[in-house]
Amino acid sequence: MDGPRLTDGPHQASGSRDAGGSPWEELGAPADRWAGCPPDLEGRGDALRHIRVCDLSGQLAGAGATRLLAAFGAQVIRVEDPTNQGGWDIVRGGPPHLDERRGIEFGASFNNHNPEKLGVTLNLRTARGRELLERLIAVSDVVTENFAGGVFARMGFPYERLRELNPSIVYVSNSGFGSSGPYRDFRTWGPIVQAMSGLTFTSGLPGQPPAGWGYSYMDHMGAYTMAIAVLAALWHRDRTGEGQAVDVCTVEAGIALTGTDILERHLGGRPPRPPGTVHANRDPQMAPHGIYPARGEDRWIALACRDDDDWRRLAAEIGQPWARETTLGSAAARLTGQDALDELLGAWTAGFDAAELAARLLAAGVPASPVRSAAERIDGPRPATPDWGLWPTVEHSRIGPARVEGLPVHLSETDWSLRRGAPCLGEHNQFVFGQLLGVDDAELADLAAAGVL
Amino acid sequence: MSVRAQDPPNGAPGGSAARQDSSGGVPRGPLFGLRVLELAGEFTAYPGKLLADLGANVVVVEPPGGAATRGRAPFVEGTSHPESSISWRHYNTSKRGIVLDLATTVDSEPTGGNGDRGGDGDLGRFERLLADCDVLLEGWPAADTAALGLDPARFTRRYPSLVWTTVTPYGRAASGPDRPVTDLTLLAGAGPVLSCGYDDHALPPVRGLGGQAIHVGGSFAVAATLTALLYRTRSGRGQHVDVSVDAALNVTCELATTQYLADGQLVSRQTGRHATASPTNQTQVRAADGQYVVLGFPPRAAAQYAALVEWIDEVGLREAFPDVVLLELGVERGGVSIVSLGTDPLAQPIWDASRAAMMLLAEHLPAAEFFLGCQRRAIVAGMVASPEEAIRGPHARAREFAVELPDPHTGRVELHPGAPYRFGRTPWRISRPAPRLGEHTAALLTAGWDAGRDDG
């Protein structure tokens, strides 16, 4: 048995549970990790104020996970390597940039992915650096990292060591191939994970190479998966006092996003498909179902007929003789003759502005959307989810004000908040090492001079 | 290979000795004890599955005749039987299922009250389950939940600790039945599609397959629901969680969004690689065996440049690749940093040469040999696998990733992806196949939430 032990979690629904402190608090755990901190540093979200994350993760797949926690008020402390100026995180200084300023503090993606976090530096190649990390872990609830599998253990921090330091710690490791298996030590980034997991294969047109996703979809989905792992492990800890390690393998998380394809082919006993056989814009049940040209250069409209009623409505809008053919009245016939149908439909859609035609079809009850650019969906006349507050402005201490991505959820009582930009390198060394860990000013100066911070 | 637990004692993942609970040896997931009522729908099935596979007690509520999602193709063996929709079977694992006629309630009962109007009808049965439940997960139009007596501004008076999560295309207020959507139109409108496709823009942009709009929205639904639950543990108070699938996709576009937010530039789609504001070099190559490989981020370290030089020589390609001298320069200069690309005029040619070397190697080697050759030299690369190959690949096999799930009703063995996260102490687990229509109605309505609690 490790860590404080309660009885197993309550088995009746919490509607009838007492509304007092959590079992975790009854064990003496702090209810507010921000208590006593300077007001300018304090997290604005309330939901996760009792959580401190010692965060060695970065890039997009790691930072994207702890971003969610920080937005809800968790105290996320990013630990970065001073010897390469945090350069392990390739977005820290990399493009895009807001203006002509360059350098390790000016990467816009880093600012986007790390708002509301605190930032410290620690050289973990030094004994004093490792000792400080151990002290930070001892007062944290969660440790996160997304090094390749096994790297953090080789740095001296296997789960067994973390557990010695803090018996109830939740440790979530996120890597391309996980903490075991023949590819454990291999390195990945989003497009590699997508390729290895089937997501690239299933995104393409017939007779063409795989199109892939055009961005690191699995850096996003890997981050969400990691966030869910942290939160679910905390739920268990809050009820029982038990921590644990969680291994997130993003290739496996990616395969899990192709589950219907796998099940269909397994139950049908079908052999693996060769490249170039997928038509990703089509659907097994709906026709027409595709992306068709619209008026203008590289303008497109997506539309789908879910059933025969949708087709009747679309045919009425088209109003041309071919669309009134009774042979097209059944989904089975439309699916069979889809190539010809798509040609006729594409010739019709090409005469219209994508947004205007989509609005007309939606009004008629047919699912349709222009294929929209960032300018259209963020600042266009019909922005994404109006009135959502999806693009908040944060204040970065070097960059200044910058718009970043908000969260696509709203909690009615304890909503998210993003106002402070990403931390500069070591920006919160004084607060974290001085105030939280009690290192005095003289020692801090010595640590900095010795290259530990 | 079979359904199995993965946790050794002491909370570290990856071993085989499962933790045994005190009630009969069934390993419990991290959400064991959590009660979730899910109103069956297109956007709730996936988050419901995530919660259920994590050990929550999830009951999916269907109308008489079955959920519309049971009619979703494809079907097992080409049938259209309500039990044989592939997506129903995949997205409803580990859940129990009941039938309640709530639509009649919606159509006929007065709206807006918070009093106990249910009595002995199906609405009353629903309310009794809800009163003893932690999470309500639904994606109905606002008018329909109002007809059930549920209003986000007032429901906590009656259900003070309920976390009520709504997942709809545009958020609760903006998602009416008059705005029809599909996975395709959502992905097109919210950004992902325009980044995806080919260098040749005469070809249409491409939608990634697999129901990803549902996955993205559902992931946020679960993360936000768990966040609300963690807050409830401290406060005792429930709340409403509103999830917009459109907003979720909008913040799941990476560079298309962050580039525009930073400097107003739009990215342009390219074959098999990132859509970018300025064109970039090809990264996807057809290997010697006809399969595709993907080059990763080019090497940065001197050792990687040295390994590339050695590999070029080993395969006998030095003559065919005069830029090997640039690779050697990369070794001499101690590698190439990202930041130096903008400031050092020699950094970019060295960086480009490493990519060219990898492409040449890829064309001369079978895909798997190239992938393994790169990775064993600490150079990032991958190969493009179909899902059916990926789940049976050497790494997934070694990690016993796939789950073979017997369905006692049909005798079939279903194949499902395994754990997206391996909890050392409280293992993820598919505890049962998708419920048959009304399979657990009698048990749940007779014995309440405790019915069969520990058998799954």
pLDDT band for B326, please (50, 70, 90 cuts). Answer: very high
Q: Is the pLDDT of residue B448 over 80?
A: yes
Residue A213, SS3?
coil
Average model confidence (pLDDT) for chain B? 90
Task: Show me where the domains of chain A are located.
Answer: 14-256+390-449, 289-379
Residues B425 and B364 grouped into a single domain? no
Identify the closest residue of chain A to B11 by CA–CA distance. A244
Q: Which residue has the tokens 């439940």?
A: B133
Closest CA to B129 of B238, B39, B252: B39
Domain identity same for B110 and B159? yes
Contact present, A223 and A65 (Cβ < 8 Å): yes
pLDDT of residue B107: 52
Report the Cα B386 to chain-centroid distance in Å. Answer: 17
Q: What's the confidence (pLDDT) of residue B176?
A: 63
Quickly count helices (H) and strands (E) in chain A. 17, 12
Q: Using 50, 70 and 90 to split pLDDT, how confident is the model at B105?
A: low
Q: Which of A9, A159, A373 sits opposite B266 (nearest CB)?
A: A373
CA distance A206 to B92: 31
pLDDT at residue A431 in the model: 97
Mean pLDDT on B428-453: 91
Place of tokens 């005069």: B322
pLDDT tens, position by position, A386-431: 789 999 999 999 999 999 999 999 999 999 999 999 999 999 999 9
Most A CBs within 10 Å, among B51, B254, B372, to test the A interface: B254
Q: How close B401 gets to chain A, by Cα (Å)?
A: 8
| B196 CB-side CA count, 13 A | 32
Which residues on B lie below 8 Å from A47 (Cβ)? 227-228, 230-231
Could you tell me where the beta strands, DSSP code E, fall in A19-85? 52-55, 75-80
Residue B4 — very low, low, confident or very high, per pLDDT cuts 50/70/90?
A: very low
pLDDT value at position B111?
Answer: 38
Average pLDDT over residues A269-278: 94
* Same domain membership, residue B335 and residue B408: no
Cβ-based contacts of A16 with chain B (< 8 Å): 132
Averaged pLDDT, B184-192: 98
Q: Verify that B164 and B301 share a domain, yes or no.
A: no
- Mention the CATH class of domain A14-256+390-449: alpha beta
Q: How sure is the predictor about B11, in pLDDT bands with cuts at 50, 70 and 90?
A: low
Would you say A32 and A23 are in contact if contact means Cβ atoms under 8 Å apart?
no
B343–A102 CB contact, under 8 Å? yes
B124 to each of A405, B67, B100, B117, how far by Cα in Å? Answer: 42, 20, 10, 7
User: Is the pLDDT score of A251 beyond 80?
Assistant: yes
| Minimal C-alpha gap between A112 and chain B (Å) | 7
Question: Judging by beta carbons within 10 Å of its beta carbon (0-12, 13-18, 19+), is residue A296 exposed, middle or buried?
Answer: exposed
A-chain residues within 8 Å CB-CB of B212? 217, 257
Nearest CB to A408; choose among B244, B384, B423: B244
Q: How far apart, in Å, are the Cα atoms of B444 and each of B59, B80, B148, B375?
A: 9, 28, 20, 52
Task: Kindly report which listed range (A176-180, A230-234, B136-140, B173-177) carries the lowest average pLDDT score.
Answer: B173-177
B358 contacts B379 by C-beta, under 8 angstroms? yes
Residue that finishes a domain, picked among B383, B418, B437: B383
Whether B52 and B191 share a structural domain: yes
- B62, with CB counted inside 10 A (0-12, 13-18, 19+), is buried
Cis ω before A167 (30° cut-off from 0): no
Picking from B383, B413, B447, the residue at the C-terminal end of a domain is: B383
The highest-level CATH class for domain A289-379 is alpha beta
What's the pLDDT score for residue B106? 55
- Please say if the pLDDT value at position B452 is more than 70: no
On whether residue B351 sits in a domain, the answer given is yes
Strand partners, B295: B381
Do A102 and B339 lie within an 8 Å CB cutoff? yes
**CA dist., res. A72 & res. A90, Å (int):** 25
Report the distance separating Cα A71 and Cα A116, nearest Å: 7
Query: pLDDT confidence of B343, banded at 50, 70, 90?
Result: confident
Q: Which residues of B touch A260 (CB under 8 A)?
A: 86-87, 90-91, 210-211
Do residues B180 and B48 both lie within one domain? yes
pLDDT over 90 for what percent of chain A? Answer: 87
Task: Tell me if residue A127 falls in helix, strand or coil.
Answer: helix
A443 to chain B nearest CA, in Å? Answer: 32
For residues A74-92, average pLDDT: 95
**Confidence check: pLDDT of A20 > 80:** no
SS3 (DSSP) at A301: strand
**Residue B209 backbone phi and psi in degrees, to 5:** -80, 170
Q: Which two tokens stand for residue B263?
A: 């400097």
Domain count, chain B: 2
Q: Which two tokens stand for residue A190?
A: 């989003």
Mean pLDDT, chain A, integer = 93
Nearest Cα to A256, choosing from B293, B258, B430?
Answer: B430
A285 to chain B, closest Cα gap in Å = 6
Least confident of A34-43, A158-167, B121-130: A34-43
> Which segments of A294-354 are extended strands (E)?
300-304
pLDDT at A26 > cutoff 90: no
Among A175-189, B1-15, B22-36, B97-111, the range of highest mean pLDDT: A175-189
The C-alpha of B135 sits at a distance from chain A's nearest C-alpha, in angstroms, of: 10
Give the three-state DSSP class for A54: strand
> Cβ–Cβ of B425/A263 closer than 8 Å?
no
What is the ipTM, given to two decimal places? 0.95
Bridge partners for A345 per DSSP: none
When pLDDT is cut at 50, 70 and 90, the band that residue A7 belongs to is very low
User: Is A317 in a helix, a strand, or coil?
Assistant: helix
pLDDT at B175: 61
- Does one domain contain both B196 and B300? no
- Please tell me which residue, B297 or B130, carries the higher pLDDT value: B130
Give residue B95's domain range.
Answer: 9-252+401-455
Of the two residues B5 and A381, the one the predictor is more confident about is: A381
* B375/B422 same-domain check: no
Residue A4 has pLDDT above 50, yes or no: no
Closest CA to B12 of A244, A248, A256: A244
> What residues in A contact B86, CB-CB < 8 Å?
260, 263-264, 267
Predicted confidence at residue B134, as pLDDT, reads 98
Q: Does position B242 have pLDDT exceeding 80, yes or no?
A: yes
Contact criterion met (CB below 8 Å) for B300 and B333? no
Q: In whole angstroms, what is the distance from residue A417 CA to residue A405 CA?
A: 11
Higher pLDDT, A20 or B228: B228
C-alpha B172/C-alpha B420 separation (Å) is 29
What does the pLDDT read at residue B13?
60
Pick from B381, B201, B215: which is nearest to A222 by CA?
B215
CA distance B342 to chain A (A): 8
Distance CA A147, CA B16 (A): 24
Q: How far apart are CA A392 and CA B69, in angstroms?
A: 36
In B324-383, the residues whose Cβ lies within 8 Å of chain A are 337-339, 342-343, 375, 378-383
Contact between chains at A263 and B415 (C-beta distance less than 8 A):
yes
Residues B427 and B304 in one domain: no
Secondary structure, 3-state, chain B: CCCCCCCCHHHCCCCCCCCCCCCCCCCCCCCCCCEEEEECCCCCHHHHHHHHHCCCEEEEEECCCCCHHHHCCCEHHHCCCCCCEHHHHHHCCCCEEEECCHHHHHHHCCCCCCCCCCCCCHHHHHHHHHHCCCEEEECCCHHHHHHCCCCCCCHHHHCCCCEEEEEECCCCCCCCCCCCCCHHHHHHHHCHHHHCCCCCCCCCCCCCCCCHHHHHHHHHHHHHHHHHHHHHHHHCCCEEEEEEHHHHHHCCCCHHHHHHHHHCCCCEEECCEEEECCCCCCCEEECCCCCEEEECCCCCCHHHHHHHHHHHHHHCCCCCCCCHHHHHHHHHCCCCCHHHHCCCCCHHHHHHHHHHHHHHHHHHCCHHHHHHHHHHCCCCEEECCCHHHHCCCHHHHHCCCCEEEECCCCCCEEEECCCCEEECCCCCCCCCCCCCCCCCHHHHHHHHHHCCHHHC
Which residues of chain B make contact with A163, given a CB cutoff of 8 A?
Answer: 10-11
- Reduced to 3 states (helix: H, G, I; strand: E, B; else coil), residue A361 is helix
Write the CA distances from B76 to A447, B53, B388, integer angstroms.
Answer: 65, 22, 16
> Tell me, what CATH number does B221's domain have?
3.40.50.10540
Nearest residue to B372 via CA among A6, A324, A182: A182
What is the nearest CA distance from A183 to chain B, expressed in angstroms? 6
Q: State residue B19's pLDDT score.
A: 35
pLDDT digits (tens, 9 = 90+) for A101-158: 999 999 999 999 999 999 999 999 999 999 999 999 999 999 999 998 889 999 999 9
Nearest to B220 among A31, A302, A408 (CB): A408
Q: Is B261 left (phi over 0), alpha (psi -120 to 50) or beta?
A: alpha
Compute CA distances B14 → A2, A58, B18, B165, whole Å: 19, 24, 10, 33
User: Fold match between A14-256+390-449 and A289-379?
Assistant: no
Q: What is the mean pLDDT of residues B37-57?
A: 98
Average pLDDT over residues A21-30: 68
Checking if the pLDDT of B258 tops 70, the result is yes
C-alpha to C-alpha distance for A392 and A369, rounded to whole angstroms: 25
Contact A209 B284 (CB under 8 A): yes
Place of tokens 């930070």: A136
Looking at the structure, tell me whether residues B33 and B75 fall in a common domain: yes
- Cβ contact (<8 Å) for A196 and B296? no
- Which residues are within 8 A (CB) of A42 and not within 5 positions of it... i.e. 6 or more apart? A34
Q: Is B209 on the interface with A (CB under 8 A)?
A: yes
Burial (0-12, 13-18, 19+ Cβ within 10 Å), A73: buried
Residue listed under structure tokens 């909008």: B250
Tally of CB atoms within 10 A around B424: 25
In-domain check, residue B276: no
